[in-house]
Amino acid sequence: MLAHVPAVKKMENRKAYLKKKAAGGWEINKFVTLQNWAARKMCQDAETFRTADESKMADMNAMIILDEFEHTSTDGGKEIESMGIIVTTRALFSNVRQAVQDQGPDLVMSTDGTYRLHFGGWTLVDCGGILVETSSSGFVQRFRPWLYMFVRTECTYAYQRMFAALV
């Protein structure tokens, strides 16, 4: 079993390769750069959201940005500048409508911010609900994503912005 675990040197080489490959990639370190990139994909009202034709899957699966933000958080007495974006697709966001129909006024959701991206120090946080479906062996619970947050620093403010994007 231990033969399948990569050696430390192999992991370091892989990390160096990924960093070299990412040079000139999508690494964004300034909020202005993030705003410029996000401007073409912003969708902050219902009218803009409904402009896509539901019969065209490319439109339904195109990434849209619900919010962009920058903030300062304190960690151990040190101020840290951070930024983030909330993204989804029209198809994914339709899972919210289905959850409201199934659950009624008490909407239950879950998030998980444990996924670190390789490049640029971004954290990916997913937000969605659990759908219970029937299967041949009984009932199955499946996570249905609603939206995703890419953030430099996970903090309460970032989660508040993510939850506000659902309203």
Q: What average pLDDT does range 73-89 have in this prediction?
A: 88
Amino acid identity for residue 19 in this structure: K
pLDDT at 65: 92
Q: What average pLDDT does range 33-54 have in this prediction?
A: 82
Q: Which residues of 80-99 are buried (b: 16+ CB within 10 A; e: fewer)?
A: eebbbbbbbbbebbebbeeb
pLDDT at 66: 92
Amino acid identity for residue 41 in this structure: K
Residue 121 zone, left/alpha/beta (φ > 0; ψ -120 to 50; rest): left
Measured CA distances, 29 to 4, 50, 61, 69, 71 (Å): 36, 32, 27, 13, 13
pLDDT at 93: 85
Q: What average pLDDT does range 88-100 have in this prediction?
A: 85
Indicate the pLDDT class of residue 24, thresholds 50, 70 and 90: low
Quick one: CA dihedral 101, 102, 106, 110, positive or negative? Answer: negative
Indicate the pLDDT class of residue 58, thresholds 50, 70 and 90: confident
pLDDT at 40: 86
Structure tokens at 107: 């909407």
Q: Would you say residue 106 has pLDDT above 60? A: yes
